[in-house]
Amino acid sequence: MRLSQMLFVTLRDDPADAEIPSHKLLLRAGYIRRIGSGVYAYLPLMWRVLQKISQIVREEMNATGAQECLLPQLQPSDLWQESGRWDTYTKAEGIMFSLIDRREQQLGLGPTHEEVITAIARDMIRSYRQLPQHLYQIQTKFRDEIRPRFGLMRGREFIMKDGYSFHTDEDSLKQTYQDMYQAYSNMLRRSGLAFRPVEADSGAIGGSGSTEFMVLAEAGEDEVLYTDDGKYAANVEKAVSLPADAEISQFTTFEKRETPGTETIETVCKFLNASPTQVVKNVLYQTVYDNGLTVLVLVSIRGDQEVNEVKLQNELTKLAPNYSAKTILTLTVPSAETQQIWAAKSLPLGYIAPDIADDYIASNKQIHPKFVRLVDQTAVELKNFITGANESGYHVVGANWGEQFQLATSVVDIRKARPGDRAQHDPQQILKSARGIEVGHIFQLGTKYSQSMGATYTNEQGEEKPLVMGCYGVGVSRLAQSAVEQSYDKDGIIWPVAIAPYQAIVTIPNVNDAQQVEIAEKLYTDLNKSGVETLLDDRNERAGVKFKDADLIGIPYRIVTGRAINNGKVEVVERATRNSQEIPIEEVVTTLKQWIKTATEINH
């Protein structure tokens, strides 16, 4: 491609609405253009990058025996009613765009395809002899994200590879899951990214686990906790650890103490000259289930620890059947205003004990009359602890479970693991923290969708069983931008060779110099003929402008037909290292082919 003929416009200044380097650079270098909130045009350079990534993804998927297909983006609401996700996706989470067609039929724009694929499996899979099966597609997804941001990182329209597998049993699922783990690792390695697979939260679906593939970058929205021995890495949402040891309490007898103005852990500890590890802190939450019922939740946890709201949400989702509900719509810390709606009398905030009376909850059909009391393991282990006295300005000290306080039936892990904590697998290992961009997620689904949608098969014994499912997603467009986030410098993008839109750019410093032009034209033709994807900067611009643009768009190798041509040579500059050397013109094609081969094969 000739730059003189390309729709190629670069910006000198950072666009105002871009916050992170990769977003700024993709806009400045003319890869993407914002069309609306979370909606971008992929311009020709970007489209080449996306196709290269898609091709790597495709090759790795095909190598596992998965079959490519293309599923509809317009999805009838009936399917989502069957799986029970229509209301959650269109109303509660509101992530699905929905519409009504001229026949008054309701449709959603596919944010994901479990329903569609399960409907197909239900129709087509009858017998264990047809299993396992694995179908995937590479396609635009639509999600009405609350906060679209960072360009392609969190768009409302983006490209995803999603795959779905069907099995007779968990063992077969695990086999495919392992294959996907390997395939995903291969895709990211081949794309030239530094990444880490981490244990992930699989939400309330449960299943036997899920892994996220995190591209390591400061701008990542996710926090990863890991140990240096390489044996543990998890999303902070899911991570577990050993908390620091609690200090031994000096309060050996139970007493109520006046502790004025000590609503926080810090102030009460200062007042009583105690450690937060001796305190049972009681945190109020309010959750609304999908049937509209509000349930108040009291979480008791050790004073120096924090609640992991993802773990809490999972525990509360497990309890949904107790309230004739399926799932949770919201989980919040009740504000002063919302407390007024359900509190029968004013709460002793900051002084609440694990046994605060249920009569604080006003009687109302929409509100469950009792607190759900959850106790974190860290609080259960405490002896002679400090906690609220259910009276403003007072705490109790020297309290014990089974004496002053009944232990709630639900002892759970709802504690947030933190960097600096000791690892569970080896207490010598200390958890460290890194930021990551989630580019892929593989998931053992189990029978959630096959059961709700009635997708069954007949096993060898002639019994009808629900299909066991897995699902596997890679954000192709997010991956592309993550590569930039991991690889740039002050002058622009540095594409990994395997996914660069073009591998080489021939720059003519002076288009009025016939010899420069002639040599450049020949190199351009020869390189492309021999399979090196090459741009020609034949614009009538100053050399400085051309060099700046080549750096900005990040093409791995720049060939300059400058002064060296007098010696039968051209200057070849490697974008990543800025190493520059003069190479005889007739050796350029073979040299570049060799470099490109080496650069991509390292990761292959």
Q: Residue 39 or 543: which CB sits closer to ligand ATP?
A: 39
Q: Residue 149 or 548: which CB sits closer to Mg ion?
A: 149
- From residue 93 to residue 132, the character string flagging contacts with ligand ATP as x (rule: CB under 6 A) and all else as - is -------------------x--------------------
How does DSSP classify residue 380? H
Indicate the residue whose CB is closest to Mg ion.
441
The reply on whether position 475 binds ligand ATP by CB under 6 A is yes
**Least Cβ distance, residue 194 to ligand ATP (angstroms):** 16
Helix axis angle for 44-63 and 476-486, nearest 10°, is 110
Indicate the residue whose CB is closest to ligand ATP.
475
The reply on whether position 154 binds ligand ATP by CB under 6 A is yes
Transcribe 287-324 into DSSP letters: EEETTS-EEEEEEEEETT--B-HHHHHHHHHHTGGGGT
Total residues binding ligand ATP (CB under 6 A): 15
**Least Cβ distance, residue 108 to ligand ATP (angstroms):** 15
Of 89, 158, 195, 371, which lies in the binding site for ligand ATP, with binding defined by CB under 6 A? 158
How does DSSP classify residue 89? I
Distance of CA 5 to the CA centre of its chain: 38
The reply on whether position 23 binds ligand ATP by CB under 6 A is no
Of 25, 138, 160, 280, which lies in the binding site for ligand ATP, with binding defined by CB under 6 A? 160
Kindly provide the residue ranges of all beta strands, DSSP E only, lying in 447-562, ordered along the sequence: 456-458, 464-466, 468-475, 488-489, 492-493, 504-507, 534-537, 557-560
- Candidate segments 81-89, 176-184, 458-466, 475-483, binder of ligand ATP by CB under 6 A: 475-483
The reply on whether position 485 binds ligand ATP by CB under 6 A is no
d(CA 115, CA 139): 16
Of 207, 220, 388, 473, which lies in the binding site for ligand ATP, with binding defined by CB under 6 A? 473
Q: Residue 143 or 416: which CB sits closer to ligand ATP?
A: 143
Handedness of CA 311, 313, 314, 319 (dihedral sign): positive
- Report the amino acid identity of residue 455: A
Of 151, 155, 220, 398, which lies in the binding site for ligand ATP, with binding defined by CB under 6 A? 155
Of 14, 87, 145, 491, which lies in the binding site for ligand ATP, with binding defined by CB under 6 A? 145
Tokens 């294959």 belong to 179
Three-state SS for 286?
strand
Tokens 């990040």 belong to 554
The reply on whether position 334 binds ligand ATP by CB under 6 A is no
Asked if 484 and 167 touch (Cβ cutoff 8 Å), the reply is: no
Starting at the edge strand found earlier in the chain, the sheet holding 294-302 runs: 328-332, 280-289, 294-302, 372-376, 410-412
Structure tokens at 490: 């002050």
Cα-only R_g, the chain: 30
**Least Cβ distance, residue 601 to ligand ATP (angstroms):** 26
Q: Residue 82 or 438: which CB sits closer to ligand ATP?
A: 438
- Report the amino acid identity of residue 527: L
The reply on whether position 220 binds ligand ATP by CB under 6 A is no
Three-state SS for 516?
helix
Q: Residue 116 or 214: which CB sits closer to Mg ion?
A: 214
Site residues for ligand ATP per CB under 6 A: 112, 143, 145, 154-155, 158, 160, 438-441, 473, 475, 477-478
Binding site residues, Mg ion, CB under 5 A:
441
